Amino acid sequence: MKKHEPKKRAWETVSYTDDPELPDLEQLKAVKDFLPRPEELVFRPKSVKVTITLSEESVAYFKEQGERLQTPYQRMIRNLIDEYVRRMRQDDPNLGI
């Protein structure tokens, strides 16, 4: 009888070769990690309700995109503003609170 061998994992069956179509490691560029930490996914930031006047064109655009993406357009506007603030603080930590 043949002895039962455990199933090989994907990384154990991959064939590594010198593929001429792949770039040399020296030519590759490191990409900054852009994924949030798990802790950032758990809690919702405190929010404050505000009244804001926007142009009809802007609201129409976000409503169209929200419908297309099946998400509330207000969330898209909030995320846009949050991203703007994050990038401004990243570029100049002395800005803001």
Tell me the mean pLDDT per 10 residues along the chain, length 97: 71 69 75 71 81 96 93 91 88 72
Q: Give the pLDDT score at 85.
A: 87
Determine contact, residues 65/73, Cβ cutoff 8 Å: yes
Taking the complete model, does pTM exceed 0.85, yes or no?
Answer: no
Residues 61-87 as b/e (b if ≥16 CB within 10 A, e otherwise) read ebeeebeeeeeebeebbeeeeeeeeee
